[in-house]
Structure 1
Amino acid sequence: MHLQNSLKLPSKISKIVLDARVFYVKRDDLVDPFLAGNKFRKLYALLQTPSNKLDKIISYGGTQSNAMLAIAAMCKEKNWEFIYYTKPLSDTLKNENCGNFYHAKKLGMRHIEIEHQYYKDFISSLRFNLDEKIFIVDQGGAVIEAMKGIKVLADEIREADLNVKSLATPSGTGTTALFLALMLPEYKIYTTPCVGDEAYLREQISSLHAIPNNLIILKPQKKYHFAKPYKEFLKIWQKLLESGIEFDLIYAPSLWISLLEQTDEEIIYIHSGGVSGNESMLKRYEKKSFLFNV
Structure 2
Amino acid sequence: MKLHCCPARTALTTINKNGFPSAQALPNTKPSGEEFMSKLLRRRWTLLSPDTNIHQITVSSKQGQKGGGLFSNFSFLKNNQPHLGDMMLYENQGLSFYIVRDDLLHPFVNGNKARKLDGLLPLIEDHGVTDVVTCGGCQSAHAAAVAVSCAERGLKSHLLLRGEQPQILTGYNLISTIYGNITYVPRTFYAHREEMLQTHASMVAGHTGSVVYCSDIIDSSLGSQTFECSKFVQRDAPRGTENHSRKVAIVNEGAKDAVALLGMFRLVDYLSQDHLLGKKRAFNFVVDSGTGTTAVGLGLAAMYLGLPWKITAVMLADTMDTYRQQERRLIAEFKRQFRFLLDSHKLNGANDGIVHWVDRCHPRKFGNVLEGEIEACQQVAQETGIPLDPVYTLAAWEMATRITCAHEDDSNVVILHTGGTLGMFGLAQRYKSYFGMLNTAIKS
Counterpart of 2:2, as a letter, is L
The 5-angstrom pairing of residues 89-238 of structure 1 reads 89=164, 91=165, 93=166, 95-107=167-179, 109-121=180-192, 123-124=194-195, 126-127=197-198, 131-132=211-212, 133-159=247-273, 160-161=276-277, 163-185=281-303, 186-209=308-331, 212-238=352-378
**Helix, strand or coil at the partner of 1:228:** coil
Counterpart of 2:268, as a letter, is A
Distance 1:7 1:277 in 2: 26
Match for residue 83 of structure 1?
A: 158
Check the 8 A contact 2:316/2:359 in 1, yes or no: no
Deviations for 1:47-87, whole angstroms, at most 9, x for unmatched residues?
32437721111111212221111101111012212111133
Structure 2, unaligned runs of 5 or more:
5-46, 62-94, 203-209, 213-246, 332-349
Match for residue 426 of structure 2?
A: 280
- Give 1:34 deviation, angstroms: 1.5
The 5-angstrom pairing of residues 239-250 of structure 1 reads 239-241=379-381, 242-250=383-391
Distance 1:237 1:152 in 2: 30
Distance 2:113 2:145 in 1: 6
Number of equivalenced pairs: 289
- Give 1:178 deviation, angstroms: 0.7
Distance 2:366 2:168 in 1: 19
- Give 1:125 deviation, angstroms: 5.2
**Helix, strand or coil at the partner of 2:272:** helix
Distance 2:98 2:193 in 1: 42
Distance 1:96 1:8 in 2: 36
Counterpart of 1:277, as a letter, is G
Q: Which has the larger radius of gyration?
A: 2
Deviates more, 1:205-214 or 1:21-30: 205-214
- Give 1:239 deviation, angstroms: 2.9
Distance 2:437 2:282 in 1: 36
- Give 1:230 deviation, angstroms: 1.4
Counterpart of 1:240, as a letter, is V
Counterpart of 2:266, as a letter, is V
Supply the RMSD in Å over aligned alpha carbons.
Answer: 2.6
Match for residue 13 of structure 1?
A: 54
Match for residue 3 of structure 1?
A: 2
Distance 2:284 2:302 in 1: 10
Give the TM-score of the pair, scaled to structure 1.
0.86
Counterpart of 1:114, as a letter, is V
Provide the identity percentage.
24
Distance 2:379 2:399 in 1: 15
Counterpart of 1:131, as a letter, is V
